[in-house]
Structure 1
Amino acid sequence: MELRDFGKRSGFRIPRVNLGPMRLPADFDEAAALIRKSIDAGMVYIDASRGYEDCELKLARALKDGYREKVILSTKWSPWGMPIEKNDDTSADCVRRRMDEQMKRLDVDYLDFYQIWSINSREQFNQVTRRGGMLDGIRRAMDEGLVGHAGFTTHDEPESLVSYLPEADWCEIILFPYNLLQTRYAPAIAAAHRLGIGTLVMNPVGGGRLAEPSPVLARLAEEIGAASVPDLAVRYIMSNPNVDTILTGVGKAADISDSIASVEAGPFSGEQIRRIQAYLAEVSDGASRLCTGCEYCLPCPAGIHIPEIMACVQDDRHWGFTASARKRYLRQTIRADACTECGVCEEKCTQKLAIREDMAYARRRFGE
């Protein structure tokens, strides 16, 4: 695969698609073989985490026999992402303890990158960058030759994130959420790119959501000339020049070959991008009239979490994600069949939506 600069700060060059080992097979031997297959195919950057179940242990097995030397290895942790002990905090000493444990789990003596996992607010950014905070612990490990580079991952609001990016002169890479149906991080990705920070995208097919059959998106993929909806999703991200690479989850060999094929098919033309955006805007306009998730309708006298049910209806009715919508609906403790049609929610709804009708729709569509 073709390589490009991983931002301007890290000094690395990487391919456009790399390995996110969150969804590896349960069997260790099968997982190790798949990791090696990914590396052999050119996915040289690996983004691990203490929070991805046993992925670090599976990587330890896969990175034997010279494979460690072939990759750029990164892992991450934070006390709010996955506390290991009750007294875990954002101190330098605590992150160093966790880092030492992770290196043992990975069975390595050096990490190319260590990331602070999920900085999701200005407050958390201040906590980790204060004197004696996590950043100092990572810098100490860098001084000792245990870690090469630092970065962080985020789900913070884009506007908040952009406000403190200029202060993150220590940060060499950032992992962002961004996909075909969630593009609001584009300005933050662009801001990071302008600063020379390497930009990675997680869940390019929406954590598998965009691999689910959707007649709505299948029509768009066919019109644009994409091989499939996942191909459409990957190539859409790759058409953003501010994105350096995507991380693809790998559960089977086809996940590797399909992702690489999409990247090598190249970005969409400007005309194709405009058509994609217009099509999605048209569908989203209808979806946005369903529910904004403001929660003014709560509390429901019957205990229903109305916005959650409405979101399931939206995904089914507008996007055609029926299977995942039903699955989320059935996870609700109190479902739409508890609705007494009292109408209190509709009186409080800022969008003046016919919530009772949508509760009836959910009962019919998703009922057991």
Structure 2
Amino acid sequence: MIKQTQKINFGKRSGLEVYPVSMGAMRFPEMDKAIPLIRQAIDAGMVYIDTSRGYGDSEIKLGKALKDGYREKVILSTKCSPWVFKAEDTDDSSADCTYKRILESMRRLDVEYLDFYQVWNINSPENYEKATCKGGMVDGIRRAVDEGLVGHIGFTTHDEPENISRYIDEADWCEVILLTYNIFNQKYKDVVAKAHEKGIGTIIMNPACGGMLAENSPVIADAVKSAVGISDAVEAGHRYLKSDPNVDTIICGITKPEDIESTIANFKKPAFDAAQISAIEKAMNKLSPDNAKVCTSCKYCMPCPAGIDIPAMMDVVFHDKVLKVPGIAKEKYDWLTGENNKNASKKPSECTACKECEAKCTQNIPIAAEMAYLARREEQSWK
């Protein structure tokens, strides 16, 4: 079995060490398969585990897998926040509610302590204020730390880099930060470096661009090959992150043994040199919406009289037509139009072709035709 062998510092503030590849616990298989899979990952060195109260029965599956001595092998982290997930309708961002959620997660995980508890998705200054104000979430976590129930504190985020930079300056309580960073999304590169410099452990989610690099896109494969001479986009994405000294560990979501083996294998390969890093960043930037001359999400086209989220739908078109990753495009489309999305868009089939949007589009995109295209794609089940 492939194993990680070299630990690195997990940020000066935590004082812990971690392997480069860690475990994401969002999409475990059914229980009888999840337990041996989790233990295989731990045995391979994926000892930092990122889960959440909002990940269905993930905590419960982990609780069963961490028996027989496995709890002592891992760095266990869970998270919650009321603006992402409410276990009860009365959940709020108070210290008392946060403390209650910590105790609940411990029961679900069937453990006596948590190595980390994180504020889940600080995605705006308003969320940051709710988390850090007197009597807010961080105070609730600090209470658990004082009582020996939690070892360390952190937060996750999808906020704008300039906001995250401010949080890093202010959050002396933060020991780790989890954020997105990959070959397609390089905008957090500088804040990852800043966090590392401040002694905050850096954890990277979506290293394979939310699965997009595994979609076998000929467009992406050609760009990667021209940049670094390999055709495996997932390998390129992993080695790109390995090459950044400010990245402590990445989160690998595991659903099958191959997820463990292939990711660790990629991290055993050589890091890219400076020229390769520059080449792959330029290659990926050429595929961005700005350079592909498609929707730049300026939102001048909005609002749509039919209630369609035009920029979001054009992002679906971009992934389907330009990047040729229909699986990712369908996932985005299903979320945009799904019942669980509080801000769900109307479907493109409801477009009346009034073309008010086209008159305002800075890129002169034939939006009505693209909405008709998406309507056909849905009708054909994206085949």
TM-score (norm. length: structure 1):
0.94
Q: Report the counterpart of residue 49 of structure 1 in structure 2.
A: 52
Q: CA deviation at 1:189?
A: 1.0
The 3 A distance-change label for structure 1 pair 143 and 262 is: same
Query: Structure 2 CA distance, aligned partners of 1:296 and 1:285?
Result: 16
Cα distance, 1:203 vs. partner?
Answer: 1.7
Shift of 1:363: 4.9
Partner of 1:33: 36
Count of aligned pairs between the two proteins: 367
Q: For residue 23 of structure 2, what is the aligned residue in structure 1? A: 19
Secondary structure of 1:207's aligned partner: coil
Alpha-carbon deviation of 1:322? 2.5
Shift of 1:101: 0.6
Give, in angstroms, the shift of residue 288 of structure 1. Answer: 5.0
Match of 1:98 among 97, 101, 112: 101
Amino acid of the structure 1 residue aligned with 2:162:
E
Q: Which residue is 1:194 aligned to?
A: 197
> Does 2:322 match 1:344?
no
Alpha-carbon distance, 1:357 to partner: 4.0
Answering whether residue 329 of structure 2 is matched by residue 317 of structure 1, we say no
Measure the CA separation in 2 of the matches of 1:367 and 1:73: 44
CA offset digits 1:178-216 (Å, max 9, x no partner): 122111111211111111100000121122222112001
On the 8 A contact 2:290/2:296 being kept in 1, the answer is no
- Within 1, Cα distance between the matches of 2:221 and 2:132? 45
The 8 Å contact of residues 22 and 46 in structure 2, kept in 1 or not, is answered as: yes
Deviation digits for residues 207-262 of structure 1 (CA, Å, limit 9, x no counterpart): 22221120011123434244621111111122221111001000000000001011
Partner AA of 1:79 in structure 2: P
The Cα of 1:286 is off from its aligned counterpart by 5.7
Change in Cα spacing, 1:302 to 1:127, as seen in structure 2 (3 Å) is closer
1:276 counterpart = 2:280: yes
What is the percent sequence identity of the aligned residues?
Answer: 51
Query: Please, which moves more after superposition, 83-92 or 238-247?
Result: 83-92
Partners of 1:194 and 1:125 lie apart in 2 by: 21
- Partners of 1:363 and 1:274 lie apart in 2 by 39
Q: Is 2:189 the counterpart of 1:177?
A: no
Question: Do the aligned partners of residues 107 and 256 (structure 1) sit closer, same or farther apart at CA in structure 2, a change above 3 Å counting?
Answer: same
Q: Give deviations 1:87-142, integer Å, cap 9, x for gaps.
A: 21121111111101110000000111111111112222222222222211211111
Q: Which moved more, 1:310-319 or 1:240-249?
A: 310-319
**How large is the RMSD of aligned CA atoms in angstroms?**
2.0
Q: Is the 8 A contact 1:120 1:154 kept in 2?
A: yes
Distance 1:366 1:171 in 2: 44
Q: 1:61 to 1:318 in 2, by over 3 A?
A: same
1:254 counterpart residue number: 258
Residue 279 of structure 1 aligns to a residue in which SS? Answer: helix
* Cα distance between partner residues in 2 of 1:285 and 1:209: 15
Indicate whether 1:111 and 2:123 are aligned.
no
Give the TM-score taking structure 2 as reference length.
0.90
Amino acid at match of 1:126: E
Is contact 2:183–2:281 with CA below 8 Å preserved after alignment? no
Output the amino acid matched with 2:324: G
Unaligned runs of 5+ in 2: 338-344
Deviation at 1:327, TM superposition (A): 5.1
- Where does 1:123-134 land on structure 2 (aligned, <5 Å)? 123-134=126-137
Q: Report how far residue 361 of structure 1 moved.
A: 4.3
Greater shift in the superposed pair: 179-188 or 50-59: 179-188
Counterpart contact for 1:287–1:318, Cα < 8 Å: no
For 1:30 and 1:335, locate their aligned partners in 2 and report how far apart those are by CA, in whole Å: 37
In the other structure, the counterpart of 2:340 is: none
Change (3 A) 1:80 1:225: same
The one-letter amino acid paired with 1:133 is G
More displaced 10-residue stretch of structure 1: 295-304 or 143-152:
295-304
Provide the residue aligned with 1:68 in structure 2. 71
Do the aligned partners of 1:153 and 1:174 also contact (CA within 8 Å) in 2?
Answer: yes
Return closer, same or farther for 1:21/1:301 CA change in 2, 3 Å cut-off: same
- CA distance in structure 2 between the aligned counterparts of 1:127 and 1:251, rounded to whole angstroms: 34
